[in-house]
Chain A
Amino acid sequence: MTQEQNNENFSFKKYAWNQFKKNKIALVCLYLLFTLVIVALFAPYIANERPLYAQYKGYTLYPAFASDNQTDSIFGTSGTLEDVLQYDITDWRSLDLDKVIWPLIPYSPGGMDRYNRDYVSPNGKQRFKNAEGLITDVPKKFRHHLGTDGIGRDLASGLIHGTRISLMVGLVSMGIASLIGIFLGALAGFFGDNKLKMTRIRYYFTLIGIFFGFFYGFGQRKYAISEGFSNGINSGMIELIISFTLIFVVVYLFRFISKFITLKSLNKEMYIPIDTFVSRGIELLNSIPRLLLIITITAVVERSIWIVMIIIGITGWTGIARFTRAEFLRIRSLEFVQAAQSLGFSNLRTIFKHALPNALAPVFVSIAFGIASAILIESGLSFLGIGVPDDIVTWGSLLNLGRQNLEAWWLIIYPGIAIFLTITIYNMIAEASRDALDPRLKS
């Protein structure tokens, strides 16, 4: 290690990566995670009831890559209209295709195979309707290799598309949680209780500004926001961003005005106990059982996977905030931060450009553990059928189907292993990177 440190090109990142690589199990987990990400990214091309490539009556089609509402008219050689292919409802299996390349699993997660309903076992007898319209034994290509559920949905396809949701839950919810947690933790740790100074007038005007900001940003725009969300998640997000910008503008405006008020009694400086605020907030959120809080909120709001992710995110930032705060408490008295301050850099620049990159290592570990618990919570919720809509196939909801029908062991084993593996992967990576990033914490 001394040799490494003496090396001119020594960097902490390289050192941590070398440490991480020493843990072989964690390395395997990292590769598995990459595999999961690839499966999630290409899920529609791995499991889809539409072929990747097909030749039908002289037409070359790429159905799996087309959008759901695409429609193709097929004309015969004499120019007569022979067939209209409406992509989302066409049964491609029954078409007489000249040439075809099927995805690895030729079923969609929601597609119901009516010849294999009522929990068809992976190794049991499966039926298939061939191009001539006869019911036969299933050809190897169209076997449900992991079985089906009660309404004939393919389990393998459900698992592959469930990967998407699972990873998305981890990403979105922990993205939100880290934004909140890092921001609040950094403020609390950097300023503490007696470092953020403000003149009184500025403080009061900021408070008034926050009031007016919320009044204009949310109170006055609540109809615009709800209308935006009813038009779709994108327009809703845009409305939300407008609202947040408005809040910032209003607060800034009030702070700006306060500069021009020069009353002697109001220009005394005071300390903002920002650390106390944040710590009390963390304590409050920690004193509410998280699962119960999430369940209570999901019971009141509309059922949507996005809302579940957001709720998991806004209830899960406390750990990240605590780690960030602790790191900042340590860092703020180090030389480089003091140097930055004595050079006259603004507080924000010092925090986010100089201090934050040095505080991220333990936060990263906390995020990785957080992703595991977010996935666990989401699968628990969909296992109970709370919060996540019924038509979305997730690992948890598949496991729930298995619980209701214990004979369908494949609906218990495979989704359960999927959940278990993902959580283990994240936990293992988190542990290994904790050991690699901070050897003192090694256990």
Chain B
Amino acid sequence: MFKYTIKRVLTFIPMLIAISLLSFVISINAPGDPVERLSKAAGNEGSAEQQSGASKKIKQELRKKLGLDLPIFYLSISDIATSDTLYKIQDKYHKANLEHLTHMSGNWGLVSDYYNELLKIQDIHRTLKPKEVFKYNNNITLNEINEVTNQVGFDIGSLLETSDQELVDLKLNTIGNSLENYTFLSPLNDSYQKIKKLNLDILNSSMKWKTYIPSINWYGANNQYHLWLFGNGKDRQGLVRGDFGISYIDSQPISTKIWQKIGISFSLSLISIFLAYLISIPIGIYSAYKKDSATDKGLSLILFILYSMPSFFVGTLLLLQFANPDNLSWFPVSGIQDPTLFDPEWGFWTKIKHRMPYLILPIITYTYGSFAFLSRIMRVGMIDIVSQDYIRTARAKGLGEGKVILKHALRNSLLPVITVFAAIFPMAIGGSIIIEVIFSIPGMGVEIYNSILNYDYPMIITVFTLSGFLTMIGYLVADLLYAVVDPRISYK
């Protein structure tokens, strides 16, 4: 048994790697720039100029802290035209643009020249001070100068992000027109001509063949995936040591957030699974006892219908009927406790007493979801077993029907039911999103729901990874329980 457990645990490893890879792939493909999100959440003060300087620094630090300046994975597969140092470019959109340009032309040298020249013209553009220009040019208004410089700045910015040739031509033309019409822009002229020439070169590049030859780049352990998984031993601990990163919403560590919420989800799912067993086992026993009676047939039809009823419909119906001033206002609509009455000093039982009315409807809904399913399994399993030979033997030797069912059949019919028990672990971390959302229970389900609405990807990915892990543990526990319930099963 011990050996078997060890063996099973060892098979977890490739599974875990696969799950972590899957979640990592999902997380790096998440839209938006995490640095922008986090720096916005941090908030800045001060004048516009200071702010841009300060926020740039904050962004760089964040980028470094999140490991975004590293290559994504141990290796990357691209073509020989694409540079293997592309990951060093910080801006996500610039990076995508450069990749596309290289893909179109196959000439990284030209593309990087083009990009550097664009950065250069952007720098020169930043040194333009409309007020000083105004001092020396009295024939145009300050407003006009401002407008023109802003427009040129905007065009340069979009050139950095687009590879659509029509758009590039358009932007280049508008910049060219501005350069012709306004002499104060002349410092940009040199760069502009170069950019125009480089753009033509890229278009006419004959290196396209390079993009057809694959190349594999090896980056070593210093990459984002490794950092995410194992940390760097300093500020990042890594997934394996319980560091799941920080939330995009409030910059809090994900693990703290999960610990705050997991209790309520876990207790709810535990209670409901317990209740579901409490109802479904007697149903199974009854069906086996009175097989093919009218009650049994009716019961099986009812169970079938209940099984097809989505739990979110049941939950909403319960709210409509029992927490609605128009019908019966027996229970509160949402939450887990009365916010005006709550005292943190309360003991366990007082807490339960005050929370009870809030929890009844959610527990019914929670239980309902597994009860219909469990009862059906239980009933089928029981009926199957009652027709076995050893039950006939037990009856033949004169045992009472009650003893036959309770002592000989029940234990054997528990096997399929155990499988459901495995689901309890992932349910604790994932909660039941739908039920918690319906009743506004502040557990993990609502937490996930909110993080999806707010695009808080670290949270989503963490829950995803953890629930995969817990499911595997659940399966292991179920398999071990099989052996406890059924001595015929032994893992040797």
| Main SS class of interface, A | helix
Distance, CA A293 to CA B426, complexed state (A): 12
Q: How far does the alpha carbon of A261 sit from the alpha carbon of B22 in the complex, in Å?
A: 37
* In-complex Cβ contact of A416 among B15, B23, B77, B316 (8 A): B316
A399 at the interface (CB under 8 A from B): yes
With A296-B460, A380-B434, A423-B308 as given contacts, are A288 and B313 in contact (CB-CB < 8 Å)? Answer: no
Whether B418 sits at the interface, judged by CB under 8 Å, is no
Residues from chain B with a CB closer than 8 A to the CB of A211 are 214
Within 8 A of A (CB), among B439-478: 448-449, 452, 455, 457, 460-461, 463-464, 467-468, 471-472, 475
Q: Which residues of B lie under 8 Å from residue A300 when comparing CB positions?
A: 26, 29-31, 457
- Let me know if A284 is at the binding interface, CB within 8 A: yes
Q: A215-B77, A443-B380 are in contact. Are A399 and B464 (CB under 8 A)?
A: no
Chain B interface residue number, banded = 35 or more
Which one of B316, B384, B433, B437 lies within 8 Å of A412 (CB-CB)? B316
> Contacts A219-B78, A403-B438, A443-B383 given: A296-B464 contact, CB under 8 Å?
yes
Task: Judge if B212 is at the interface, Cβ distance under 8 Å.
Answer: yes
Contact B308 A299 (CB under 8 A): no
Find out whether the CB atom of B19 lies under 8 angstroms from the CB atom of A288.
yes
A69 contacts chain B at the CB level, 8 A cutoff: no
Inter-chain CA distance A284–B319, complex, in Å, is 38
**A275-326 contacts to B (CB < 8 Å):** 280, 283-284, 287-289, 291-293, 295-297, 299-300
A172 close to B (CB within 8 Å):
no
- Residue A419 contacts which of B307, B310, B467 (CB distance < 8 angstroms)? B310
Chain B residues within an 8 Å CB radius of A384: 433-434, 437, 449
| Contact code string B247-285 (vs A, CB < 8 Å = 1, else 0) | 000000000000000000000000000000000000000
Closest CB of chain A to B362's CB: distance in Å? Answer: 14
Say whether A223 faces chain B, with CB atoms less than 8 Å apart. yes
Set A296, A423, A428, A443: member contacting B26, Cβ < 8 A: A296
Nearest CB on B from A344, distance (A) = 38
For A380, give its contact among B19, B310, B460 (CB under 8 Å): B310
In contact, A296 and B77 (Cβ under 8 angstroms): no
Question: A178 at the A/B interface (Cβ < 8 Å)?
Answer: no
**Contact partners of A223 in chain B: CB under 8 A:** 100, 103
Interface pair A416/B313, CB less than 8 Å apart: yes
Q: Which residues of B contact A263 (CB under 8 A)?
A: none
Is residue A407 contacting chain B, with contact meaning CB distance below 8 A?
Answer: yes
Q: How far is the CA of A299 from the CA of B383 in the complex (A)?
A: 43
* Interchain CB contact under 8 A, A284 and B18: yes
Let me know if B383 and A288 touch, CB within 8 A. Answer: no
Pick from A299, A420, A428: contact of B304, CB under 8 Å: A428
A409 at the interface (CB under 8 A from B): yes
A216, A280, A296, A406 — most chain B CB neighbours (10 Å): A296
Determine if A212 is an interface residue (Cβ-Cβ < 8 Å).
Answer: yes
Residues of B within 8 A of A212 (CB): 214
The 3 nearest A-B residue pairs measured at CB:
A416-B313, A424-B308, A443-B380
A sample of 5 cross-chain residue pairs with beta-carbon separation below 8 angstroms, ordered by A number, consists of A288-B468, A289-B468, A379-B310, A412-B313, A420-B310
B residues neighboring A (CB under 8 Å): 14-15, 18-19, 22-23, 26, 29-31, 77-79, 100, 103, 211-212, 214, 304-305, 307-310, 312-313, 316-317, 319-320, 323-324, 326, 333, 380, 383-384, 426, 430, 433-434, 437-438, 448-449, 452, 455, 457, 460-461, 463-464, 467-468, 471-472, 475
